[in-house]
Amino acid sequence: MPVLKHIVMWNILGDSAEEKARNTQRLKAAFEGIRGRIPGMLTLEIGVDVSHVDYACDVVLYSEFESAQALADYATHPEHTRVRQELEGLRIARHQVDYFPN
C-alpha cells in the first residue's frame, strides 16, 4: 500500500518581521521535536518560506504516514496534541492536503 502524504501550510502571527521570525522558529522547533516519536510517521520535514511573495505561506509541514489509520492516530497522539496546544494562537491561517500518490 502506498504511503499517505500529509502536507500542512501555515501563515504565522507577528506584528513585526522579528516577532514573525521568532514564532516561525518556535513552530519549526516544536514539530521537529516530535520527529521519530509518532508510530506510523515515516517522514517529517518542516520548511520555512524563502520566497517572501505575498501569496506564499510562511511554513510548510511535509510528512508521510504508513497508512490512513496512522495519520488518524497522529491527530490524537499526545505529542501532537501537546505541540498544537503549545503553538495555539501562533498560526493565523492553515491549509492542509492529505493524499495517496498515484
Model confidence band, residue 89 (pLDDT cutoffs 50, 70, 90): very high
Q: CA-to-CA distance for 91 and 96, rounded, in angstroms?
A: 13
Q: At what angle do helices 68-76 and 78-86 cross, to 10 degrees?
A: 50
pLDDT category at 1 given cuts 50, 70, 90 is confident
Please count the CA atoms within 13 angstroms of the CA of 45 that sit on its side-chain side. 8
pTM of this prediction exceeds 0.85: yes
**Residues constituting the chain:** 102
pLDDT band at 47 (very low <50, low <70, confident <90, very high): very high
pLDDT band at 102 (very low <50, low <70, confident <90, very high): confident
